[in-house]
Amino acid sequence: MTTGDPLLQLTDVHKQYRSVRALRGVSVEIRPGETLGMVGESGSGKSTVGRIVLGLERPTSGSLRFDGRPYPRTARSLRAIRRRIGIVFQDPYDSLDPRFTLRRIIDEPLRTHGLPSGRDRIAELLTSVGMENADPDSYPTTYSGGQRQRIGIARALALEPDLIVCDEPTSALDVSVQAQILNLLLALQRERNLAYLFISHDLEVVRRMSDRIAVIREGEVVETGPAAEVTSAPQHPYTRALLDAVPATRPSERHVDANGSADPVVAA
């Protein structure tokens, strides 16, 4: 696959839950190393897109391709794609089992796929997210919300994915901590050439994180394009309404240092 070819493609994806049409012909794509921000209000269908990309749900109709190949239909075949797609959940308090040590939490995807791990690998992953002083045998209840989200990101990196679905990854955190996590995600993207599907209701955060933006409303993508164009010259009334709801903004540089914790993407 060349750099310009899509890593992920959704074409005319529909999802029906009994009488509810959750998705209505969603077509988007993500290239290697790119962030596609998907923004919309609660219930717009953006998290449904994330679950379908992860293979946790199947579309009612439409097609998905990863690395140029159609998504397989069997659970066994889907495992190969799931190894290449990570997930960072919204709430770090709910997504990390308090009964498990950090070692077991980060090991979980490796065990699921029958891959070897070890103390050095766990230490490497914790260091990559700024948690080099954390004890692998400690429990997540020892740590703050921001630190727990870093642990969740380390787990998402364990299989060395090409794409990570970030489903509202900072909405449960304080603003100053949000900035640190967003900067960490940007630094990891730069170092590892990661692609992100960045799902959020917060258009300001999406604008600062994304290369391109897809605006979704009632299960339909109503506008998509480069982040600067979508936010500076929106074409759809819904996009304009989302922009009007954003408070006064701060400077929008995507500045990241080697540790992912320098100048915040979103100022406190």
pLDDT reading at 7 higher than 60: yes
Which residues lie closer than 8 Å to 168 by C-beta, 6 or more apart? 47, 90, 199, 200, 201
Work out the percent of the chain whose per-residue pLDDT is above 90: 76
Domain-by-domain residue ranges, the chain? Answer: 8-84+161-244
Q: What is the pLDDT of residue 193?
A: 97
Q: Is the backbone of residue 183 left (phi > 0), alpha (psi -120 to 50) or beta?
A: alpha
How many Å apart are CA 126 and CA 122, to the nearest integer?
6
Domain 8-84+161-244, CATH number (from 1.10.10.10, 3.40.50.970, 3.40.50.300, 2.130.10.10): 3.40.50.300
107-113 average pLDDT score:
90
- Indicate the pLDDT class of residue 73, thresholds 50, 70 and 90: confident
Q: How confident is the model at residue 194 (pLDDT cuts 50, 70, 90)?
A: very high
Which residue, among 230, 195, 251, 174, has the nearest Cα to 40 in the 3D structure?
A: 230
What is the average per-residue pLDDT within 94-121? 91
pLDDT confidence of residue 248: 60
Instruction: Give the mean pLDDT of 33-42.
Output: 96
Whether the pLDDT of residue 260 is over 70: the answer is no
Q: What angle do CA 39, 40, 46 make, to 5 degrees?
A: 80
Q: What's the CA gap between 145 and 69, in Å, rounded?
A: 38
The confidence score (pLDDT) of residue 122 equals 93
Q: At which residue do the structure tokens 């690395």 appear?
A: 67
SS3 percent helix, strand, coil of the chain, rounded to 5, is: 35, 25, 40
CA distances from 71 to 10, 16, 59, 131, 197 (A): 10, 19, 11, 35, 17
Share of the chain above pLDDT 70, in %: 91
Are 45 and 19 spatial neighbours (Cβ–Cβ below 8 Å)? no
According to the model, what pLDDT value does residue 1 have? 40
